[in-house]
């Protein structure tokens, strides 16, 4: 379960590490990215041992990633959709497995990771680069 939490945090932190300027033509996209960053930050406070909270946090993160994909400009939408699809599949893997069955849950998470192998890392890199170019760095 700890691996799952760290993996989700890693993916979303890399991809969505900036907020956006109001003057950006991609304002809605950047706003969605900033909101995802906030949701992800809150999800880091969830204890991996609290299955209900993990499911809720992942559902919320997945829904916001889907919004980011919908708001994404055409040139990056495919990559945003891959990240959103991964988080959706991960949410499904968690929702359909028993918290007390570590083997079942680990297998479901592993299958999800394997399904997106190759595509996810490239999409994360592309999306991260696009966000860095398009959105201003988050204020400290």
Identify the pLDDT of residue 19: 44
All domains of the chain in start order, with CATH: 2-134 (1.20.120)
Identify the pLDDT of residue 23: 46
Q: Show the low-confidence residues of the chain (pLDDT under 70).
A: 1-25, 136-140
Identify the pLDDT of residue 82: 97
Q: For all residues of the chain together, what is the average pLDDT?
A: 83
Tokens 């991964």 found at:
86
Tokens of 28: 């809605």
Three-class secondary structure of residue 112 per DSSP: helix
- Output the pTM of the full model: 0.79
Tokens 């083997």 found at:
103
CA distance 40 to 58: 9
CA distance 90 to 102: 15
The DSSP line for 119-138 is HHHHHHHHHHHHHHHHSPPP
Tokens 């950006």 found at:
24
């Amino acid at each position: 379960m700890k691996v799952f939490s760290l993996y989700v945090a890693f993916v979303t932190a890399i991809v969505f590490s900036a907020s956006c300027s109001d003057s950006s033509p991609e304002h809605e996209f950047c706003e969605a990215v900033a909101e995802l960053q906030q949701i992800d930050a809150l999800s880091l406070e969830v204890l991996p041992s609290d299955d209900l909270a993990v499911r809720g946090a992942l559902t919320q993160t997945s829904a916001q990633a889907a919004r980011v994909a919908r708001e994404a400009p055409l040139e990056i939408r495919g990559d945003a959709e891959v990240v959103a699809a991964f988080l959706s599949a991960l949410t499904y893997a968690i929702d359909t497995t028993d918290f007390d069955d570590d083997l079942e849950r680990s297998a479901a998470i592993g299958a999800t990771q394997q399904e997106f192998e190759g595509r996810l890392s490239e999409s994360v890199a592309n999306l991260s680069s696009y966000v860095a170019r398009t959105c201003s760095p988050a204020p400290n």
